[in-house]
Amino acid sequence: MRILLENLSKHFGKVKAVDSLNLEIKEGEFLVLLGPSGCGKTTTLLLIAGLYKPTFGNIYFGDKIVDHLSPKDRGIGMVFQSYALYPHMNVFDNIAFPLTLMKKPRNEIEKAVREIAKFVQLDEELLERRPGQLSGGQQQRVALARALVKGPSILLLDEPLSNLDAKLRLIMRAEIKHLQKQLGITTILVTHDQVEAMTMGDRIALMHNGKIQQLGTPDELYNQPINLFTAGFIGSPPMNIFNSKIGRDEEGYYILIEESFKVRFPEELFQKLKEENLFLGIRPEHVTISLQASNNLIPGRVYITEPLGRETLLNIQVGNILLKSIVPQTLKVSSGDKIWINFDVNYCHFFDKNGERIKI
């Protein structure tokens, strides 16, 4: 099912939770609504579900406006953050509940429940248990099964992994994505976890203050952020972003970073940067480290190290600023060590004074 949001708005008093949103979600697509708390992503999901009514705008499923339809008539399945399972019912009855409301024959319900339970890898022996007797992962499978049992055209997921431990979250991330591809069902996931968004979504709509800041593939948001908000939000650890100024001396062109140090760059890049004052961004993996001084390398000192297993995150003090670099675990440095750093200008991002990307 294709979904189209046309000038969609939801106001709570003077607060514009969703502000003139225009978005097309393709048939069979896995779209992620990503953003910090209060950005409007859950409100958008609840508008699509029919649990909120728009202040302005329209919602289309296919070519049909569904603003007037109640949630039960929209052909959606929904999984909430809390799973919202009925504690007094066993697993079988929880999964069967939507079909029971639809007054389906008992034999049809029995067949559908067992088929969907098998599909989400829920052991049949669990069907007689109550939700309180299940693990978090099992409860999530029940919630998924209940959402899918009636064969919805659209699946809505409201932070379904946030209550799981890190290991189980990793497993369920892959399983949900696999199920979605098997079913080919149009799916919208709401999350504040960018790793979850990057690994699961075909496309990501990054939201802030009720508006979409950038819509694109995970690769596009990571490698081509269109503004400072996207650049600072996408990536773990986040991009290093500096207030910068272009200059020239007897050695050539440079960018002065936070009035602290200079980064040299070629003349052809200078010709493309029209503004004297700008923001420079570079991801930690593109800040390279040397243990020996060399021409054009910038001296710094290790402020603190954060071992991550196969790699190490360095917090480096250069002048009055701290920046981050990701280095191999084999590079042995300690707090207080003097090092030299280099910015790979091929991986630098530039933004104007309004925070918009400068195309190079």
Q: Please, what are the domains in the chain? A: 3-233 (3.40.50.300), 240-351 (2.40.50.140)
**The whole model's pTM is what?**
0.89
State the amino acid at position 188 in one-letter form: I
Q: What is the structure's pLDDT at 21? A: 96
Query: How far is 200 from 29, CA to CA, in rounded Å?
Result: 11
Q: What is the structure's pLDDT at 294? A: 84
Query: How far is 93 from 262, CA to CA, in rounded Å?
Result: 66
Q: If you search the block for the tokens 């920046």, which residue do you land on?
A: 323
Q: Any idea what the Cα angle at residue 287 is, between residues 286 and 292, rounded to 5°?
A: 135
Q: What is the structure's pLDDT at 123? A: 87
Q: What is the structure's pLDDT at 274? A: 75
Q: What is the mean pLDDT of each run of 10 residues along the chain (360 residues)?
A: 96 95 96 95 95 95 92 90 87 92 90 90 90 88 90 91 82 89 94 93 96 97 96 93 90 87 84 84 94 88 93 92 93 92 90 90
In sequence order, what are the residues at sequence separation of 6 or more whose Cβ sits closer than 8 angstroms to the Cβ of residue 241?
A: 228, 231, 232, 279, 280, 281, 351
Q: What is the structure's pLDDT at 334? A: 92
- Nearest-10 crossing angle of helices 106-119, 136-148: 130
